Amino acid sequence: MSALFESILVANRGEIACRIFRTAREMGIRTIAVYSDADANAKHVREADEAVHIGPSAASDSYLRADKVLAAAKQTKAAAIHPGYGFLSENPDFAEAVIKAGMIWVGPTPDAIRAMGLKDEAKRIAISAGVPVLSGYQGEDQSEATLLAEAKNIGFPVLIKAVAGGGGRGIREVKAAGEFKEQLASAQREAKAAFGDDRVLVEKLVERPRHIEVQVFGDKHGHVVHFFERDCSLQRRRQKVIEEAPAPGMTEAVRTAMTDAALKVARAVKYENAGTVEFIVDGAGPLRPDGFWFLEMNTRLQVEHPVTEAVTGHDLVQWQFLVAAGKNLPAQKQIKLNGHAIEARICAEDPSEGFRPSVGRIRTLDFDGYSRVDAGFDAGDTVSSSYDSLLAKEITFAQSREEAIHHARVCLGRLHVEGLATNGAFLQRCLADADFVSGALHTGIIAEKIDTLADRSASRRRAAVIAAQVLRNLDRDERNIWEKTDGWRLNAPPRREWLLEEGGVTVRIEDARPSPLVDGVASDFAAEWLDEEEAQGDMDGLPFRARHMRAGARITVLVAGEAFVFARPGAAADQDVGAGGDDIKAPLPGKIVAFSAKVGASVKKGDALVTLEAMKMEHALKAPRDGVVAEVGASEGAQVKEGALLVRLEPAA
């Protein structure tokens, strides 16, 4: 395809920059990256034809600096700018500056961004367009007394939501009036930090909600179409985890009502380019035409756009380029729906430690090779605490939802990551959850089942079985029978047992046929060894591909995105900072945004002592036991390094 314009600068980083570059290269468009200090050697920089340094690691000094991005565009003579998502993508002033500089803006008009950028104004527009919205308060009076009074009028439970921004930040659920003050302060603080605007609205909470969104597109000739819907109901702390298209249980009557409503919103603001109209849906029963309400409109490309591409066969980034260049969109009847697609967001975080972000160098990063992967990192890259934790998105497609789920589970089971923690096994367990498989979705599934879904013990048992197979093979290879560890006895069958430590947990493995026992528990296990270091198979209904590495007395097993290091008792790896004891330490670099601990104060196990903002999220650090605050090592507003002492406890008198 001949180039529509000569070059494109992507004002973003990570997987979305790499994704946009891929389509640009296919269309013959020269690619230009921008990067911060932390991203000097990043994948998106390596993949671009040209790259320009725009500042320090902090996003506020680099990717959020419109002046620096524009200067880079002028320096490289970029013909167009694509903002990706996040950062400056929904900043109308930046869009205007790009257009005034004579460059093509690959996105909606500044007026549309401005109209839909504030949730209160977006709701007013939706109401005027005849689209259903939830009851709520969108007023100018932001005093605590007024907001609380309005919440009482609406009736608890309610949601407090930041007027600006998106991505699940600045949103708090309030079940009763007594919680309102604390949750309001938290929402306003997070909104101010994320968007520079602490205004909020209050709306009625749908207690078993689904989150369904419609992909819309508009061109410069007044045509507006939709590319069907996506279901994004599987969420944690209002952050999407797994998305799919089409929505499970969708009927033609509901789809028609929902897509018509989405198009009304888009037409109301004369929308151009890619956008997403999001709806909150009653998930207490089957979908119905009167059971959804307008939530917001995201005036940009969405993280989850690949599932729409899979089921429609359309490259949405290509359509963004075509529309920006003045081309016509296809007619609605030319956009067909076929099959089912699922996207899993693979993040550098540890679900077993409250989803604590994981930073550092990636030693191994190996995907299965049978799915589409949009990745922002390769092996050898470093994950920085300056940005969010998204490593990659794995997208699977099949003709049925059941097949798509199976393929997604297989692909995640084959994921190998070493050097940092990921949520790969957590995602695999989410896909195996009975409610998810049946399509009985709502946004609270993960919260309700977090103890099971984030439990590492099942994955550890799977890895321990592989470690036992390795130990069994080592015994087989020993030539001197007197050195074997098989518990040989005269006139009795061999008996072997190994005691290993992993992550501070002692695991007892007994050799048995057909599968070893782990802590006395048998597993439904079948595997074949592909070579000396790699095996694949199925255990307790979860497919896997495992790789192991030996280093002295340690055996490292990589499976489903997790790394397990087994060693003899006493030789296990050191525990993570801040994992327990009397000291509460910073688990990663960040900013102290709230400090409730005071010297001399008595605290109970589980009390929140410090709130740390890192990787675009707030993390509550809690007391590991009852005690008294003996020492405070930081203050509110301070930037702290990983491992810094924040609070020291001593026993109560």
User: How is domain 7-106 classified at the architecture level of CATH?
Assistant: 3-Layer(aba) Sandwich (3.40)
pLDDT of residue 570: 56
Taking alpha carbons only, the member of 76, 78, 10 closest to residue 45 is: 10
pLDDT in tens, 294-320: 999 999 999 999 999 999 999 999 999
Structure tokens at 410: 């297989």
Q: State the average pLDDT for the chain.
A: 89
Q: Does residue 187 register a pLDDT over 80?
A: yes
Listed range (8-22, 154-168, 567-581, 595-609) with the worst mean pLDDT: 567-581
**Longest Cα–Cα distance in the chain:** 90
Q: Using the 8-state DSSP alphabet, how is residue 6 labeled?
A: S
**592 confidence band (pLDDT: 50, 70, 90):** confident
**Considering only the top CATH level, what class is 583-650?**
mainly beta
Domain ranges of the chain: 7-106, 135-204, 209-453, 457-566, 583-650
The domain covering 135-204 belongs, at the CATH homologous superfamily level, to: ATP-grasp fold, A domain (3.30.1490.20)
Q: Cβ neighbours of residue 260 under 8 Å, at least 6 residues apart?
A: none
CATH 3.20.20.70 assigned to 457-566: no
pLDDT in tens, 498-523: 888 887 788 888 877 767 788 888 87
CA distances from 626 to 11, 249, 586, 606 (A): 48, 48, 19, 8
Rounded Cα distance between 310 and 317, Å, is 13
Q: What is the mean pLDDT of residues 432-442?
A: 96
pTM of the model: 0.81
CATH 3.30.470.20 assigned to 209-453: yes
Read off the amino acid at residue 652.
Answer: A
pLDDT in tens, 545-575: 888 888 777 888 988 888 888 887 754 333 3
Rounded Cα distance between 148 and 178, Å, is 10
35 touches 54 (CB < 8 A) = yes
Rounded Cα distance between 451 and 449, Å, is 6
443 touches 233 (CB < 8 A) = yes
Q: Does residue 476 register a pLDDT over 80?
A: no
Structure tokens at 41: 């050697």
Rounded Cα distance between 467 and 471, Å, is 6
Rounded Cα distance between 325 and 363, Å, is 42
Q: Which class for 155: exposed (0-12), middle (13-18), buried (19 or more C-beta within 10 A)?
A: exposed
Residue in this structure with the two tokens 């939501």, named with its chain if needed: 161
Residue, of 482 and 142, whose pLDDT is higher: 142
pLDDT of residue 575: 35
pLDDT of residue 576: 35
Three-state DSSP string of 235-266: EECCEEEEEEECCCCCCHHHHHHHHHHHHHHH
Distance from the Cα of residue 7 to its chain's centroid:
30
Taking alpha carbons only, the member of 572, 583, 552 closest to residue 646 is: 583
pLDDT in tens, 600-610: 888 888 888 88
Strand 30-36 vs strand 7-10: parallel, antiparallel, or unpaired?
Answer: parallel
Q: What residues are annotated to the active site?
A: 300
Q: Does residue 482 register a pLDDT over 60?
A: no
What are the helix (H) ranges across 287-400?
A: 305-312, 316-324
Beta strands in 150-304 (DSSP E): 158-162, 171-174, 200-204, 209-218, 224-236, 239-245, 273-282, 292-298
Read off the amino acid at residue 615.
Answer: M
